[in-house]
Structure 1
Amino acid sequence: MKKVLLTSVLSSVLAVSAMAVSHTASASDFTINPMIGASKNKAMGTNVAAGLEAGYKDFILGYTYTGETDNRSNTESFGFDDNDENEKPVWRSFDASVHTSEKYKAHTLYVGYQFAVGAGHLAVKAGADFSKYSASTGFGITEYSQGGTLNKAGIGLEAQSNTEVRPMVGVGYYLDNGLNFNVHYTFQNGSRDMKYSASGYNNSKPKSISLGRNDLENKDFGTWMFTVGYRF
């Protein structure tokens, strides 16, 4: 009876150990690789880039993001004495402002495959980049008197693209200690289909009208991206 019990216990221990080894080997096939770095966009300049990769054995599924918002504004103030209906001098002042804004956001999804090379693995990647671009400009003026704000008026022009889908390619080198370096490039053709609108206000809520669609030419958003990651 004791031999039977001992045999059963030993069999159970060996079975559990085998399952643990199998689970460890299976778990090690999966990897997670957070990445951070910078992108160089031909039209928008240098921006922060971030990404995340999930791997299973030699296969890779990845995502990256980069974007830039460039806001610029300038305000000038001036004033003068005016006479009211009783011929008394009243100080009036004006704030005149001009603003421009550009926004670019790009999300990339890709797949890859790695090969053992040297002290690590070399991966080749390919996918699609989904990006949007918008721009606006406007002029506004505010009139003040000694009693407060008298009038506000302004006009604006805005252009916004649909989501553009463009091809992306990349390579990455993954050291055996987990550290990795990645270079990606997104191809752009320099032209975007833009939707234009105009808005204006005069002491009221802004009202907007559509100006139709037109292509934006010679605005190349081709992007190089360099990231460093650590794969777990």
Structure 2
Amino acid sequence: MKKVLLTSVLSSVLAVSAMAVSHTASASDFTINPMVGASKNKAMGTNVAAGLEAGYKDFILGYTYTSETDKRSNTESFGFDDGDTAPDWRSFDASLYTTEKYKAHTLYVGYQFAVGPGHLAVKAGADFSKYSANAGFDVIEYNQGGTLNKAGMGLEAKSNTVVSPMVGVGYYLDNGLNFNVHYTFQNGARDMKYSASGYNNSKPEAVSLGRAKNDLENKDFGTWMFTVGYRF
């Protein structure tokens, strides 16, 4: 999906550039605006954001990317032994874990109006995001000679690509500096694909558990994005 989106953006930029040349537009008619900033997802927290806009006269075509959020939670390991004495002594260490991952791409169009010492742009487009989560445990068995066995089990859920509406505004100063605010409307409804996996002595096994439409509890993926750019 990432490659397809990047290819679409680059193709569009080239198309706008070709249009400008074919109409013998001045250099000021065609603009490029790299942007960098942060995105604040209500469920996943704050992450780095970056984007690129291409403009032809008052029209804008843009792309932004929210880098992958990787939230991990690990419980402290706990151990116990079987009460035997050497040479049959055994001990076990176990740990629990959870992880969540989220990333998003956005494509949009916009139009700018002359306002004060610059231009005000209004934007609208579509956000393409993916979410995954898993939880599980790992157990390591020891004896007098060291590690005897390793085993674990996990449950994983992956969403399909969810398309959500995005709106935004930007203000472009005449010196090239600009400030942008975007918002993506999302909720917790995701079509999730579930699977289970396990391993014993590093021999993995996995099985698909099917798909389900879930409204993830306490998950609101609505996202604010703040970026600063320089248009030239």
TM-score category of the 2 structures, normalised to the smaller one: 0.7 to 0.9
Deviation at 1:55, TM superposition (A): 1.1
**Aligned equivalents of 1:224, 1:159: Cα separation in 2:** 25
Distance in 1, matches of 2:24 and 2:198, equals 64
Amino acid at match of 1:226: F
What residue in structure 2 maps to residue 182 of structure 1? 180
Deviations for 1:7-53, whole angstroms, at most 9, x for unmatched residues? xxxxxxxxxxxxxxxx9962222111111111111111222211111
Matched, 1:82 2:84: yes
For 2:71, the equivalent position in structure 1 comes to: 70
Once residues 82 and 73 of structure 1 are traced to their aligned partners in structure 2, the CA distance between those partners, rounded to angstroms, is: 30
Letter in 2 for 1:136: N
8 Å Cα contact 2:194-2:209 kept in structure 1: yes
CA shift for structure 1 position 165: 0.7
- Judge conservation of contact 2:87–2:144 (CA < 8 Å) in 1: no
Separation of aligned partners in 1, 2:107 and 2:161: 14
- Find the residue that maps to 1:28 and give its secondary structure: helix
Once residues 152 and 158 of structure 1 are traced to their aligned partners in structure 2, the CA distance between those partners, rounded to angstroms, is: 20
RMSD, aligned α-carbons? 1.9
1:203, 1:89 → 2: CA distance?
22
Q: Which amino acid aligns with 2:228?
A: V
TM-score (norm 1): 0.82
Query: Unaligned 5+ residue runs, structure 2?
Result: 1-22
Verify the 8 A CA contact 1:77 1:93 in the aligned structure 2.
no
Residues of 1 paired with 2:47 and 2:212: CA distance?
27
Bigger mean CA offset, 174-183 vs 60-69: 60-69
Residues in 2 aligned to 1:160 and 1:25: alpha-carbon distance in whole angstroms? 47
| Deviation of the 1:99 alpha carbon | 1.1
Aligned to 1:228: 228
For the 8 Å contact 1:169–1:185, the answer to whether it is kept is: yes
Unaligned runs of 5+ in 1: 1-22
SS class of match (1:197): strand
2:36 matched residue in structure 1: 36
Percent of residue pairs identical: 80
Q: Deviations 1:139-190 (Å, cap 9, x if unpaired)?
A: 1101112322211111100000010111111110000011111110111133
Shift of 1:200: 1.6
2:17 corresponds to: none
CA distance in 2, matches of 1:58, 1:204: 59
Alignment partners' CA distance in 2, 1:200 and 1:213: 19
> Where does 1:79-118 land on structure 2 (aligned, <5 Å)?
79-80=80-81, 82-83=84-85, 88-89=86-87, 91-118=89-116
Q: Could you tell me which residue of structure 2 aligns to residue 171 of structure 1?
A: 169
**In structure 2, the residue corresponding to 1:40 is in which secondary structure?**
strand
**Could you say which residue in structure 2 is the equivalent of 1:15?**
none
1:122 to partner: Cα distance: 0.4
1:108-187 equivalent positions in 2, closer than 5 A: 108-187=106-185
Displacement of 1:89 in angstroms is: 4.6
Aligned counterparts of 1:78 and 1:111: Cα–Cα separation in 2? 57
Contact persistence 2:64–2:107 (CA under 8 A): yes
Structure 2 letter corresponding to 1:32: I
What is the distance in 2 between the residues matched to 1:137 and 1:105? 19
Partner of 1:221, secondary structure, is: coil
> How many angstroms apart in 2 are the aligned matches of 1:108 and 1:131?
9
Task: Report the 3-state secondary structure (helix = DSSP H, G, I; strand = E; otherwise coil) of the residue aligned with 1:62.
Answer: strand
Scaled by the length of structure 2, the TM-score of the pair is 0.82
Q: Structure 1 residue 133: deviation in Å?
A: 0.2
